Amino acid sequence: MPGTTAIEWTNKTWNPVTGCTKVSPGCDHCYAERLTNRFGRDFTQVSLHPNRLDAPLHWREPSYIFVNSMSDLFHPRVPYTFVDQVFAVIRQCPQHTFQILTKRPSRMRRYPGLWPANAWAGISIESQDYAWRADILRKVPAAVRFLSIEPLIGPIASLDLQGIHWVIVGGESGPGHRPLDINWVRTLRDQSVSEHVAFFFKQWGGLTPKSGGRELDGRTWDEMPRGLAIPTPETPRLVPAFAVS
- What gap in Å lies between CA 162 and CA 85, rounded to an integer? 31
Domain extent listing, the chain? 12-227
Q: What per-residue confidence (pLDDT) applies to 242?
A: 29
Amino acid letter for position 124: S
Q: Are 75 and 104 in contact (CB under 8 A)?
A: yes
Q: Are 14 and 63 in contact (CB under 8 A)?
A: no
Q: What per-residue confidence (pLDDT) applies to 213?
A: 96
pLDDT tens-digit profile of 2-57?
Answer: 688 999 999 999 999 999 999 999 999 999 999 999 999 999 999 999 999 999 99
Q: Which ranges of the chain have pLDDT less than 50? A: 231-245
Q: What per-residue confidence (pLDDT) applies to 234?
A: 42
Kindly report the pTM of this predicted structure: 0.92
Other beta carbons less than 10 A from residue 175's beta carbon: 7
- What gap in Å lies between CA 150 and CA 66, rounded to an integer? 15
DSSP character string of 52-120: GTTGGGG--S--EEEETTTB-TT-TTS-HHHHHHHHHHHHT-TTSEEEEEES-HHHHHH--SPPPTTEE
The kind and range of the H/E element at 135 are helix 133-137
Q: What per-residue confidence (pLDDT) applies to 3?
A: 84
The topology (CATH level 3) of 12-227 is TIM Barrel (3.20.20)
